Chain A
């Protein structure tokens, strides 16, 4: 594992993986959208509105997954001082923020026809909004501190402190009274929804996950290149 964490080796290996990953992402989205918009039946209660779930739920999953990735990479960066871990954490943030934004907006678009309101300050919605603010704060730290090593340390501490919000999001619907429905897929006793609706949801979840890995790899490669540029520019100034 350590071998692939070398930035030069990572750059070469990721260049080979990326086209396959991009193709798999496109395929998963094509199948997922076909199942979500054509094959999936209307829900007996929600009607056509159930189709919002196929873009909303994977976005919410990815919002938490991306933040967990940032927290894990931050911990690795802090403990082992591995530069690629810091880069991985930094590059996951804009992707995670976008997924969180999508989860909030599509959730709101589902809430209006189903709950009769765009927004309520209940535990689930509020904790996801806090997650969005955490993403913005995390990215602001990277922008504000010019020296990458110092920025990585401060950002890693903030990311790890903010990670406490992830289990709060997950269990908020169990711990507090919430307008938001409890988990219906990731449950101890198995999914509570019919296979006709579960299949498109899982395929869209896979598509979102593949998209994250594709974009994350591209962003990491781009950040490695930018750091090379920084080193060359510093050498030019000093020499």
Chain B
């Protein structure tokens, strides 16, 4: 690509906007999945701790 060509700025701007939007989309999608996975893991750990505690309480009763 010839960067000194007329209207080269419009070409650069197009690729820059595309890169920023697509990178933002990828990051947002990936972060959302990571957050959901971490939240599920926390909930499952809390649930299994509660079940263990309930099991112990049941044994001692």
- List A residues at the B interface (Cβ < 8 Å): 37-38, 42, 47-49, 51-52, 55-56, 59, 94-95, 98, 101-102, 105-106, 109-110, 112-113, 211, 215, 218-219, 221-222, 225-226, 228-229, 232-233, 236
Contacts and interface: CB of A to CB of B under 8 A. Distances in A.
Interface of B: 1-2, 5-8, 10-11, 13-15, 17-18, 21-22, 24-26, 28-30, 32-33, 36-37, 39-40, 43-44, 47
6 contacts: A94-B28, A101-B21, A102-B17, A105-B14, A113-B10, A222-B33
Nearest to B1: A37
Contact of B2 (A48, A102, A232, A236): A48
B1 A38 contact: yes
Contacts of B33: 218-219, 221-222, 225
A43 to B, nearest CB: 11
A48 B5 contact: yes
A222 B11 contact: no
Residue with the highest number of chain B CB atoms closer than 10 Å, among A56, A94, A106, A218: A106
Would you call the interface of chain B mostly helix, strand, loop, or mixed?
Answer: helix
A81 B39 CA distance: 28
B36 A55 contact: no
Contact of A47 (B7, B18, B36): B7
Contacts of A106: 14, 17-18
Contact of B8 (A48, A102, A105): A48
A221 B29 CA distance: 10
B29 A52 contact: no
A226 to B, nearest CB: 5
A185 B24 CA distance: 29
Given A101-B21, A215-B29, A225-B33, A52 B39 contact: no
Nearest to A106: B14
B17 A232 contact: no
A232 B47 contact: yes
Given A94-B25, A98-B22, A113 B7 contact: yes
B29 to A, nearest CB: 5
Nearest to A113: B7
Given A229-B39, A229-B40, A59 B7 contact: no
Contact of A109 (B5, B6, B13, B21): B13
A110 B12 CA distance: 11
B5 A105 contact: no
A232 B44 CA distance: 8
B32 A219 contact: yes
